[in-house]
Chains A and B, each alone.
Chain A
Amino acid sequence: MSDVELQARIERSVEGFDGERADWDGVLGAVRSAERRTRMRRLAILVAVLAVLVATPAFGIGQRLVDVIAGEPAPEEVKSELRRRNEVPEPVLELIDDLSPGVDADKARGVMSVQTTRGPVNLWVAPTKEGGFCAYVETATGGSSLCGNDADFGLPRPGLSADLRPLDARNDADNRLAFGRIVGWKPADRVQLELDDGRRLRARVARGWLMGELPEGATLVRIHLWRAGAVVATQEMLPPKPPPAVPDPDDYRAVLEVETLTGDTAVLSVAPAPPGQQCYRVSSRSTESATCGDPPFGDISVNGDLTSALLFGPVQVPAASLEVVFEDGERDDVPLEEGYFLYAVPADHVKRGRLPKEFIARDAAGKVVARAPAAPGG
């Protein structure tokens, strides 16, 4: 077979896409949605941290837990827990561009109760200002909440007549409660939880939400939605991540320390890591964030603890100094040691128009060696 003939066969193997519609506006729209979701996730993480730190110890309704009746108004304790989701410190709101979920806790309603081996678990849901929801899962020993909207859980999947997107498949403290939301929900005959050993368990479904208890030691691998005797949707669950290597707390060595705008002291510490990896931790009174693993993508990796307006992370290029440039053009030196930076954003720079905009790393001769947007994860 000649080269020309082979080339012709290759050319014919995949037909062209000429004449099809381009959708640049769709690209830009998806970028905006993705960035909105990223901000929402950051806020959810932030508020979850606050909730764990502040709310859980005060939550004491476990002994009075009873089955909820679908549609019944939530008790005051639950409303109060949901209301806390809106309580983001003012400076933080400025820093992350008004991302409070805006939950209307007074409209919280019961969705369902599930009897588990450890007692009943209640699900309460309240709407948010942007048409989303905050769900509160109440157990005998406490509770946890998650906020979002349907658009936060992936793009529609073509070919499925229904779409099943778990909000959080293992929401319970020891990963034994499957909990999800059925998007584009229509009445389902049943929902099955498929385990790693092949067993299928039936989940409770109400008002587009699902819940079910997983047996001890079992891993959820798929969720199946049935209607009229047939599976109409299947959701693959992501395999659980292997646990990261956790250094002994005594192995950490402090390299940077700053005072935050809340008057707290934040410390960045590093620990020995396997070759090619890195381990560092940022701790303060309000948070602790430990990262171990492969170096992140990018020359300057920006992470943040927005409760105290802290920015920190590794700088992957040899840099002698690091500078932050604010939206108003002002600049400030950023503490940089051993390839890590830790920066407490000053109080007068957590306002719109004055926020941190960019980090610039320089070598000893003053030459710019890296730049990165100052937004966490940006």
Chain B
Amino acid sequence: MELAPLEELYQARLPVFRRVAAGITGNRESARDAVQEAFVTAVRKRRSFRGDGPLEAWVWRIVVNTARNHHRRDAVRSRAEADVARRAESEPLGAELPLHLLTDRQREVVFLHYFADLGYEEIGAALAIAPGTVGATLNAARATLRRALTEVTA
């Protein structure tokens, strides 16, 4: 595969990639790093893209995996003393919603659906799950959020 389609995707959808990655990592700076790193991976591994699905879904899969790794790495680092300063500098996300009540999978489905405007098929391809599972996961996430928000406002 040539570089041009990847560059076009990067230029056209960068804010969306970063926004979804931020939802997964919980940190805007990590999200920027994760997306950049994901595209480095995509460029290096582009010959392994077989073209049997949309390029964007393939890239989403890399972005989601990389963001997950950053999230895990950040969690480990946050236990280290040296990260006190970094935490203070980071930009906390999700204050608007009780996202911590969702599972990692539910959060990913929510962000891919609402921020990236992906359909069930594309989300399924990005997360390597069946489209039906996407729908069920999204419904469960909505129910959890709705219940939590209703309890807060009641």
Contact = CB atoms under 8 A, between A and B. Distances in A.
A binds B: yes
B1 to A, nearest CB: 11
Interface string A1-25: 1010011011111111111101110
B146 interface: yes
Contacts of A9: 96-97, 145, 149
Contacts of B59: none
B146 A10 contact: no
Of residues A1, A11, A19, A28, which shows the largest number of chain B Cβ atoms within 10 Å of its Cβ? A1
A17 B82 contact: no
A98 interface: no
A34 interface: yes
B12 to A, nearest CB: 10
Contacts, number: 106
Contact of B7 (A7, A18, A24): A24
A20 B15 CA distance: 8
A31 B48 CA distance: 16
A14 B22 contact: yes
Contacts of B7: 24
Contacts of B39: 27
Contact of A13 (B43, B86, B97): B97
A159 B85 contact: yes
B11 A24 contact: yes
A26 interface: yes
Contact of A17 (B19, B36, B110, B150): B19
A10 B110 contact: yes
Interface in B111-141: 111, 114-115
Interface in A218-260: 222, 224, 231-234, 236
Interface of A: 1, 3, 6-7, 9-20, 22-24, 26-28, 30-31, 34-35, 158-161, 222, 224, 231-234, 236, 297-298, 371-373, 378
